[in-house]
Amino acid sequence: MATFLLGAGFDTTMNMLSLGTYALLRHPDQAAALRAEPELAASTVEELLRYLTIAHTGARYAIADVELDGELIRAGETVAISLAAANRDPDKYADPDRLDVRRQATGQLAFGHGIHQCLGQQLARTELQVALPALFTRFPDLHLAVPADAVPLRQGTDIYGVLRLPVAW
Using CB atoms within 10 A of its CB, is residue 124 exposed (0-12), middle (13-18) or buried (19+)?
buried
Whether the full predicted model's pTM is greater than 0.85, yes or no, is yes
Q: Please tell me the CATH code under which domain 2-54+85-168 is placed.
A: 1.10.630.10
pLDDT bracket for residue 137 (50, 70, 90): very high
By the 8 A CB rule, do 103 and 86 touch?
Answer: no
73 pLDDT above the threshold of 90? yes
pLDDT confidence tier of residue 157, bands split at 50, 70 and 90:
confident
pLDDT of 169 above 80: yes
Given pLDDT bands bounded at 50, 70 and 90, which one contains residue 27? very high
